[in-house]
């Protein structure tokens, strides 16, 4: 590694050690996960699946991938797992392409109310291939989804996939109501649990499979604390060895596998698959359930502490790891301005559009933050008052450089007391 890259690596390590990560989609991995990512498996091509590869020399890669598959199935109660997707977006796209024909309908959460780009944003390729219709929030103050309106739209549009999932929604989804509506119109039930997979694996939030969902897609980082990657799970499906299986729910595993490879991706990144296997093993340990529950405790406490200091929260709280703040209503600053101010003191969050946001996406009203990463560092409920106070002091004192400099020193000293998980 040359000097410049080494210095950049050291600078990023310093930034992570001396600051607090509040972006809800980010986390820290263990030393074992890091070691797997930097392992010799990065050298190996493994196109195909265990026992069905196109290249030789697969006696070890087959065992690694099968172990990752088995652990994923155990964690989430799945019948089938594909651990090869390179991220969450390819996982979602693979499901669409496996089950849909061009022009078919998908029903997903309204994008400005918490949905994700891959749930049909007009700028995505999927939106050019398929018809996306929306459901949304009935009451902005509580975050309650309008399930009655969802049912009426579903009965009219007859979506082939009803998708439950989000990237910016702080409340719980009623999977039972989703299942009732999906079953009524004959839709495949798909849950994108990229944000909350670790909370489900840790038994802190309900599992969509327990309500009759057919497919779960997820990233393997975020709350799951694994490497950057994706995964597709199915339950109640058996697969079919036919070369061209019919598009039936029973054949979903085969359809999905063939869409991931060779339909959509080339060979898996085996160092990443190894790291997934490591992370899934860590998530099977009893202490991971303690972690998942603590993420929720910290999020609820942080939400309360922020509201006590005048922050206006979207839906006035949270049921998961994620908090959305209306910064314009709170302090008459944009989410982008708030993000930059917090960066100055070592607190990392991200600006985000909020429901009915009057501002554009690159300069939205909202600020999104969460507790997965700081919980991994060891912070608990009592520390959330400090985080909220630092945020408040930074926003209120945003035009006072000396105050921001003092806050940065305080945050750095505090963060340095909590090692990264990779140090343990």
**Within a domain: residue 131?**
yes
Measured CA to CA in angstroms, residue 414 lies from 27, 182, 301, 397, 419 at distances of 18, 48, 19, 20, 11
**Within a domain: residue 6?**
no
Point out the residues that are catalytic.
45, 47, 192, 219, 222, 228
pLDDT tens digits, one per residue of 48-70 = 999 999 999 999 999 999 999 99
CATH of the domain at 209: 3.40.640.10
Strands (DSSP E) along 44-165, which ranges? 48-49, 52-53, 80-82, 105-109, 131-135, 137-139, 144-145, 161-165
Measured CA to CA in angstroms, residue 136 lies from 70, 149, 152, 166 at distances of 36, 8, 13, 11
- Check whether residue 151 and residue 291 sit in a common domain: no
Q: What is the mean pLDDT of residues 211-240?
A: 91
- Check whether residue 204 and residue 320 sit in a common domain: no
Q: How confident is the model at residue 247 (pLDDT cuts 50, 70, 90)?
A: confident
pLDDT tens digits, one per residue of 92-137 = 999 999 999 999 999 999 888 888 888 888 888 888 999 999 999 9
Structural domain count of the chain: 2
**Within a domain: residue 182?**
yes
Helix (H) or strand (E) holding 78: none
C-alpha 17, offset from chain centre: 23
**Within a domain: residue 3?**
no
Domain boundary among 262, 283, 304: 283
- Residue 74's domain spans which residues? 31-283
What's the pLDDT score for residue 222? 96
Tokens coding 96 = 């669409």
- Check whether residue 279 and residue 291 sit in a common domain: no
Omega of the bond leading into 262 within 30 degrees of 0 (cis): yes
pTM, two decimals, is 0.95
């Amino acid at each position: 590694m040359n000097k410049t890259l080494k210095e950049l690596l050291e600078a990023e390590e310093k930034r992570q050690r001396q600051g607090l990560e509040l972006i809800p989609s980010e986390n820290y991995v263990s030393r074992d996960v890091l070691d797997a990512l930097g392992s010799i498996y990065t050298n190996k091509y493994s196109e195909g699946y265990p026992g069905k590869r196109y290249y030789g020399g697969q006696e070890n890669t087959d065992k690694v991938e099968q172990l990752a598959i088995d652990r994923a199935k155990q964690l989430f109660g799945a019948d089938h797992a594909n651990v090869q997707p390179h991220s969450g977006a390819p996982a979602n796209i693979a499901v669409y392409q496996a089950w849909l024909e061009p022009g078919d309908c998908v029903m997903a959460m309204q994008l400005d109310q918490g949905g994700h780009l891959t749930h049909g944003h007009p700028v995505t390729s999927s939106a050019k291939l398929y018809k996306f219709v929306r459901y949304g929030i009935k009451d902005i103050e509580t975050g309650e989804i309008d399930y009655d309106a969802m049912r009426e739209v579903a009965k009219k549009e007859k979506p082939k996939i009803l998708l439950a999932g989000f990237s910016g929604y702080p409340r719980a989804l009623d999977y039972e109501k989703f299942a009732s509506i999906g079953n009524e119109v004959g839709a495949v039930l798909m849950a994108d649990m990229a944000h909350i997979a670790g909370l489900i694996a840790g038994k802190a939030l309900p599992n969509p499979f327990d309500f009759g969902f057919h497919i779960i897609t997820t990233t393997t980082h975020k709350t799951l604390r694994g490497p950057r990657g994706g995964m597709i799970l199915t339950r109640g499906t058996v697969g079919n060895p036919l070369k061209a299986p019919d598009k039936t729910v029973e054949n979903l595993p085969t359809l999905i596998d063939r869409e991931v490879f060779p339909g959509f991706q080339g060979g898996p990144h085996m160092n990443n698959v190894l790291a997934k296997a490591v992370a899934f093993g860590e998530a099977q340990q009893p202490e991971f359930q303690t972690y998942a529950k603590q993420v929720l405790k910290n999020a609820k406490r942080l939400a309360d502490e922020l509201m006590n200091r005048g922050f206006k929260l979207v839906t006035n709280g949270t049921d998961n790891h994620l908090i959305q703040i209306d910064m314009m209503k709170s302090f008459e600053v944009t989410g982008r301005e708030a993000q930059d101010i917090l960066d100055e003191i070592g607190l990392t969050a991200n600006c985000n559009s909020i429901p009915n946001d009057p501002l554009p996406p690159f300069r939205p009203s909202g600020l999104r933050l969460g507790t997965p990463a700081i919980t991994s560092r060891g912070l608990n409920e009592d520390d959330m008052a400090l985080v909220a106070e630092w945020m408040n002091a930074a926003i209120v004192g945003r035009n006072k450089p000396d105050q921001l400099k003092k806050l940065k020193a305080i945050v750095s000293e505090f963060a340095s007391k909590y090692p990264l998980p990779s140090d343990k």
